[in-house]
Structure 1
C-alpha cells in the first residue's frame, strides 16, 4: 500500500487529526488536507501519485504529420525507393508540410514498428570518400545483369556523374558490347558534353589491357584518347573504387523489384526511362545534403577535358566489309573505298567518323581494325602508307594491328 493511502486511512479510519498524521508520517499538514480532499472526491485510488505530464504539448508533432510519415514509409518502400528519415523529410517539405527533425521521424517509425534494427555497421569515420569537385569531372560507368519475365538475361549499361550522382544514361541491352559502350558514350556526350575523365572497371568493353597480352587499345580507349579524356580503371578485385555506381546498382534493382516484371527488352527500357526521371528529380540524396542529383548537377559549373583534340559531332555507322575487304564511306559528296583486308570479308563493322577522322571496330569486341584520316584526293584509302601530295597533305594512317 502506498504512503499516500496509509496517511488517508490513518485520518479517516484511525481517527488521527491531520496535524497528528502529518507529524507521524513526516509530511506537511497542507499535503494531508489535499490527500483527504482527493479521497472524499474519488476514493482511495484518487490519492495515488498523478502524472506530471503537461495537459498540452505545443511542440508535439501533429497527428496528421505523424500519419503522413507512416504512409510515406510504406509508399516509398513499395516503390523500391529509399524510405529513410531524410528522404521522408524531403517529401514532407515537397508536399508543403513542416518536417520534424530526422531523429523525430526515426522515433515515429520505430514506435510504429516500421524500422527493423540492423547489425552494427562499419563506422563512417573509417570510410574514405572520394568525390569529383565538379559535374563532368568524372563519369563512372558499369553494367549489371537483370532478368526479363521470361527468364531472358539482359544487361543494363549506366553512366553516372561522380560529383552529383546524376544518372546520365541507363539502358538495357542483350548483351553490352564494346561498340555499344562507344555508341552510348557518344550519345551521352551529345546531350551533356564531354567529361574530363571516366572511371570504370577492367571489363573488356572498357579496356584491353588484360586482353590476353594482345596489347593496344580497344574502341572505347581509343575514343577517349582521341578526345583527350583521362581514362581511369579500378584495381582488379577492388570494386570499392567504383563504389558509387556499385551502390547505385542496388538502388536500381530495388526499384525494379517494385515494378511489374518486364516481358520484353523494350518494356524494360521504358521502366528504366521512368526510373531515370525519378532518380534524378524525385529522390534526394543523403550525400548531397538532401538535394536531388539534378539539382547538384545543374547548379555547379561543369568540368571539361583539357584542350580536347576533337569536338563536335561523331557519326556512327554500321556497315559490312565486302568480298574484297573494303568498306565505302562518303566524304564531301565523294565515295571513298577503305581497305580493311580480305581476312575480314563479310564481317559487320562499326565506323566512328569525325570529319575526316575514321575509326573502324568490330561490334562485338570493340577491336580496332583500322584508324585513318581520309585523303580526299584518293578514291581508295589503302592500308599501305603513301607519300602524300604536297598540296593535299596526304594520308595519315595510324592503323592499329590487333
Structure 2
C-alpha cells in the first residue's frame, strides 16, 4: 500500500487529525489536505502517486516528422541504400522538414522496433584511418563479383577517389582484364584529370610485382609509369589497406540486392550508372560530415602528378593486326602503317596514343603484354619495327 493511502486511511478510519497525520508521516499539513481532497472527489484510488511527466513538451518531435522518419527508413531500405539516422536527417533537411538530432531519430526507430541490435564491433579508437588530403591525390581501385539473373558471373570494376569517396568509374565486365583496367582508368582520367597516385591490391590486372619477375610491367603499370603517376599496392593478405573500396563494395551490393536482377551485361551497366549518380549526388556520407561525395570532390583543388601529361591528351583504340603483321594509325591527317610482325597477325591489340607516342598491348594476355612502343615519324608512311624514334 502506498504512503498516500496510509495517510488518508489514518485520518478517515483511525480518527487522526490532519496535524497528527502530518507529524507522524513526516509530510506537511497542506499535503494531507490535498490527499483528502483527492480522495473525496475521486475515491481512494485517486491518491495514488501520479506521473511526473509534464502535460506538454515543446521539444517533442512533430507527428508529421515522426511519420516521415519511419517512411524514409522503409523507402531507403527498400532501395538498398543506407537508412541510418544520419542519412534520414539529411533527407529531412532536403525536404525542408525540421530534422531532430540523430539520437532522437534513433529513439524513434527503436520505439518502432525498426533497429536490429548488432554485435559489438572493434572500437573505432583502435583503427588507424588514412585519407588523402586532396581530390585526385589517390584513386583506389578494385573489382567485385556479381551474378546476372541466369547465374552468369560478372566482375564490377570500380575507381574511387580516396579523399572524397567520389565514384569515378563503376563498370561491369566479363571478366575484368588489364585492358579493361587501362581503358576504364583513361576514360575516368579524361573526365576528371589524372590522379597523383593509385592504390590497389596485387591482382595481376594491376601489377606483376609478385609474379616472380616474369613479363615485366603490365599495361596498367606501364601506363602509370609513362604518365608519371605513383603506383601504390597494399601488402599481400592485408585488405584493410584498401578499406574504403572494400567497404564500398558492401554498399554497392546492398543496393543491387534491392533492384531487379539484370539479365545482360548491358542491363547491369545501366543499373550501375544509376547507382553511381545516387551514390555521388544523393547519398550523404558519414565520414564526410554528411556531405555527398560530389560535394566533397569539388570543394577543394585537385592534386596532380608532378610533370605528368594530362589524361585528356590520351586516346585509345582497339584494333586487329592484319595478316601482314601491320596496323594503321592516322596522325595529323596522314595515315601511317606500323610494323608489328607476322607472328602477331590476327591479334587484337590496344593502342594508347599520346601525340606521336604509341604503346601497343596484346589484349589476349592476362597482363596486357606490351608488344611495341614507338614514336611516330611524321615524315614516314611506314613505321618499321627497327626504327622506334624519328630520324634527327
Q: Is the 8 A contact 1:226 1:310 kept in 2?
A: no
Residues 166-193 of structure 1: per-residue CA shift (max 9 Å, x gap): 0111111111111111111111111111
Residue 62 of structure 2 is matched in structure 1 by 62
SS of residue in 2 equivalent to 1:130: coil
Change (3 A) 1:47 1:148: same
Residues 225-252 of structure 1: per-residue CA shift (max 9 Å, x gap): 1111111111111111111111101000
Residue 284 of structure 2 is matched in structure 1 by 284
SS of residue in 2 equivalent to 1:360: strand
Residue 351 of structure 2 is matched in structure 1 by 351
Unmatched segments (≥5 aa) in structure 2:
none
SS of residue in 2 equivalent to 1:232: strand
Instruction: Report the TM-score, using the length of structure 1 for normalisation.
Output: 0.93
Q: Is the 8 A contact 1:86 1:102 kept in 2?
A: yes
Change (3 A) 1:163 1:386: closer
Change (3 A) 1:14 1:306: same
Residue 381 of structure 2 is matched in structure 1 by 379
Q: Is the 8 A contact 1:136 1:161 kept in 2?
A: yes
SS of residue in 2 equivalent to 1:175: coil
Q: Is the 8 A contact 2:194 2:304 kept in 1?
A: yes
Aligned positions, number? 390
Q: Residue 32 in 1 paired to residue 70 in 2? A: no
Change (3 A) 1:386 1:63: closer
Residues 273-295 of structure 1: per-residue CA shift (max 9 Å, x gap): 11011000111001100000000
C-alpha distance in 1, partners of 2:343/2:312? 33
C-alpha distance in 1, partners of 2:385/2:220? 22
Change (3 A) 1:386 1:223: closer
Within-5 A mapping of 1:154-233: 154-233=154-233
C-alpha distance in 1, partners of 2:141/2:47? 72
Deviation at 1:219, TM superposition (A): 1.1
Deviation at 1:24, TM superposition (A): 3.5
Change (3 A) 1:211 1:341: farther
Residue 11 of structure 2 is matched in structure 1 by 11
Deviation at 1:75, TM superposition (A): 1.2
SS of residue in 1 equivalent to 2:140: strand
C-alpha distance in 1, partners of 2:159/2:182? 12
Unmatched segments (≥5 aa) in structure 1:
394-402
295-304 or 321-330: which moved more? 321-330
Residues 52-88 of structure 1: per-residue CA shift (max 9 Å, x gap): 1111111121222122111111111111111111111
Change (3 A) 1:215 1:386: closer
Deviation at 1:387, TM superposition (A): 9.2
Change (3 A) 1:376 1:62: same
Q: Is the 8 A contact 1:353 1:359 kept in 2?
A: yes
Residue 102 of structure 2 is matched in structure 1 by 102
Residue 131 of structure 1 is matched in structure 2 by 131
Deviation at 1:386, TM superposition (A): 7.6
Residue 245 of structure 1 is matched in structure 2 by 245
Deviation at 1:388, TM superposition (A): 6.0
Change (3 A) 1:87 1:210: same
Q: Is the 8 A contact 1:209 1:215 kept in 2?
A: no
Deviation at 1:384, TM superposition (A): 2.1
Q: Residue 361 in 1 paired to residue 388 in 2? A: no
Give me the CA root mean square deviation.
1.7
